[in-house]
Amino acid sequence: MIVLEYKIKAKQHQLTAIDQAIRTGQFVRNKALRYWMDNKGVNKYDLNKYCRVLAKDFSFADKLNSTARQSSAERAWSSIARFFDNCKKNKPGKKGFPKFKKYSRSVEYKQSGWKLDKQTKKHITFTDKNDIGRVKLVGSRDIYFYQPEQIKRVRLVRRADGYYCQFCISIEVKEDMEPTGRAIGLDMGLKYFYADSFGHTEENPRFYRKNEQRLNRLSRRLSRKYQNANKASDPGEVSSLSERASGKSGKQMSKNPKQRQSNNYHKSRVARAKQHLKVSRQRKDHAVKLARCVCASNDCIVYEDLNVRNLVRNRKLSKSISDAGWTQFRNWVEYMAWKFDKITIAVPPHYTSQDCPACGTRIKKALSTRTHACKCGYIEDRDIAASINILKKGLSTGGHLGTYASTADGFPSAGNWRYAWGETPSWAVGAGKGGF
């Protein structure tokens, strides 16, 4: 299963139609979630049937393709199923009760509602009643290399720098790799991105920190351009602001103080969003390349089973932890390990940086102490010593597999994935079933 992404080149009325389709998908998802809340015993198939009722009751919902409405209902059921799963596993803290979505950025079609042109140029036509029409696909990958029946899902995504079209293609993505006979332990940190059991340390890129000054400047610029009618100095200014915004009087504006923002405000908002998007793309690119390198050069990868959600509660380190992107790196390590038929093991992180790898003596150290020095004479960098302890735990019975439990035919299925946080990653959904 692979995903090909293209940027969309279309006219303004077509982009407006895409926005309408995204809002309709959000409406269907929220309605399906409300239907589940109000009716006891509703399952996934009941939500799919409810999409037809919504199409009859709301004309704008009928414009969206029926499979796209079902995909939106399936998104609602995905959050419901995750909530039930967390409750069954007695997950500590909040169980993640499903919430209504406020800002959706994508809508998903299945195998109908769209059609690829049979020409040499890359174009796709959406055939539902939203009048999106024919749009151009800009990208280097050739979508015509694959058969139409191999394309299981088509997703329209809105981002800060434009609109994108994603194709989910059902093909074999496994790669044959020569065994290396190596096992590696990884200790995630902030001084280094990770330190491994071979003594190698990977530099922490700190993408957000490097762009923080520019992001703060863009945020200040956006704040200066924000217009708030409640902060006007006199009633005459309120009246002038309201007349320019919506043609209402100052008295009417006082009842509805929401102020329409200027074009310069939205330009500043888009500029800041693009900078945040750049940082997230840099972090993802770094995680993908590093995970592939780690999995290609080792047969067994052992890492800490970190609860990042609790770690970011430290107000002094939360920004640095979020900037490191440990969870994203772990997800890609597990995906690359599945792709290359390698083994990943998650171990408890307790005392990995305190125990001595040589004699096992527990030496308590503060975070500022970066060198492990034991009475037995073993001296090593704190992170490297921790990675050795992590590898030892993984090779013993202290860890649990982060790879899949295969089915009877040896192929992984979405229900058989075993991950430390108890959720199925998006790339594994529908694996072995021919679709998402």
Q: Tokens representing 361?
A: 């003596």
Q: How far apart are the first and last CA of the chain?
A: 9
User: What are 93's strand-pairing partners?
Assistant: none
Tell me what pLDDT residue 46 has.
92
For residue 422, the SS3 value is coil
- Cα 250–251–256 angle (5° rounding)? 85
Report CA-CA distances (Å) from 222 to 260, 271, 413. Answer: 14, 9, 47
pTM for the full model?
Answer: 0.80
Q: What average pLDDT does range 291-302 have in this prediction?
A: 93
**Distance of alpha carbon 277 from alpha carbon 23, whole angstroms:** 22
Note the pLDDT tens digit of each residue in 44-57: 999 999 999 999 99
DSSP 263: H
**Distance of alpha carbon 54 from alpha carbon 33, whole angstroms:** 13
Identify whether the C-beta of residue 74 lies closer than 8 Å to the C-beta of residue 155: no
Domains for the chain: give ranges and CATH numbers: 2-169 (no CATH), 183-208+285-403 (3.30.420), 212-271 (no CATH)
Residues 6+ positions from 380 with CB-CB distance below 8 Å: 357, 371, 372, 388
Report CA-CA distances (Å) from 424 to 74, 94, 115. Answer: 15, 18, 30
Please indicate whether residue 95 or residue 279 has the higher confidence score (pLDDT): 279
User: What are 47's strand-pairing partners?
Assistant: none
Residues 260-281 as b or e (16 or more Cβ within 10 Å = b): ebeeebeebbeebeebeebbee
Q: Tokens representing 327?
A: 């969870």
DSSP 191: S
Note the pLDDT tens digit of each residue in 352-365: 888 888 888 888 88
**Distance of alpha carbon 225 from alpha carbon 111, whole angstroms:** 44
Note the pLDDT tens digit of each residue in 173-203: 888 888 888 999 999 999 999 999 898 999 9
Tell me what pLDDT residue 429 has.
41
Tell me what pLDDT residue 303 has.
92
Tell me what pLDDT residue 301 has.
93
**Distance of alpha carbon 323 from alpha carbon 130, whole angstroms:** 39
